[in-house]
Chains A and B, each alone.
Chain A
């Protein structure tokens, strides 16, 4: 059983460009959360998707958007990239609400130059 898978693992983009990161949750999981982790910092919550809708959002600008598909996979899109968007982007999946264990992917390393 595959756990949470993310792609790509590493990518380099130029300021002003747009990026799409992808996440497939653990089999059977219906809730996907995205986190941004800057170097040396703890992850910061971006948003969470459940039943194809954004259920919660952290303090991130509208340049950060997402989507969840009927098969529960998810995408994170970032527009108009800034140097400060360089970070590890982590996807986490769980089943339903807060009582359940969360599984994390290996992350996508984004470098903006």
Chain B
């Protein structure tokens, strides 16, 4: 079993829909990152969370430390949101442990 599990693996949506991507982890963490990866390969950091909730534009990330679970929400989705969204956790050491990602496609 992977230390970081994401669901769903693939997600399609119509423009304007509300989207939720989930992440569960089994290790103790100091922080959790939500990342976005476009087909070219580069990764952009969206959020770094250690507790509670963060919001940036149409993106919202929440984390429940007790339940070892985090969610990434996208409101009013748009085709330009199409990408792979990756959850990564930072444990007691500095290295990141990644989930396998959720491939999101938003259609007009």
Question: Does A associate with B in a complex?
Answer: yes
Q: How far is the CB of A99 from chain B (nearest CB, A)?
A: 7
Does B95 lie within 8 Å of A58, measured CB to CB?
Answer: yes
Residues of B within 8 A of A109 (CB): 41
Ranked 3 nearest A-B pairs via Cβ? A42-B98, A104-B43, A106-B42
Shortest distance between the CB of B103 and any CB in chain A (Å)? 9
Interface residues of B (CB under 8 A from A): 4, 30-31, 33, 35, 40-45, 48, 86, 88, 90, 93-101
Name the prevailing secondary structure of the B interface residues.
Answer: strand
Per the CB 8 Å criterion, the residue count for chain A at the interface is: 28
Check B98–A98 contact: CB distance below 8 A: no
Assess the B94–A42 pair: CB atoms within 8 A.
no
Contact pick for B100, options A31, A41, A55, A105, CB 8 Å: A41
Let me know if B99 and A107 touch, CB within 8 A. no
A-B contact count (CB 8 A): 65
B98 touches A102 (CB 8 A): no
Query: Hey, what's the 0/1 contact readout for A33-76 against B, CB within 8 Å counting as 1?
Result: 10101001111110010000001101000000000000000000
Residues of A contacting B40 with CB < 8 Å? 106
Contact of B31 with A99 in the complex, beta carbons under 8 Å: yes
Q: Are B45 and A102 in contact (CB under 8 A)?
A: yes
Residues from chain A with Cβ under 8 Å of B35 in the complex: 104
Contact B86 A101 (CB under 8 A): no
Q: Is A23 an interface residue (CB 8 A)?
A: no
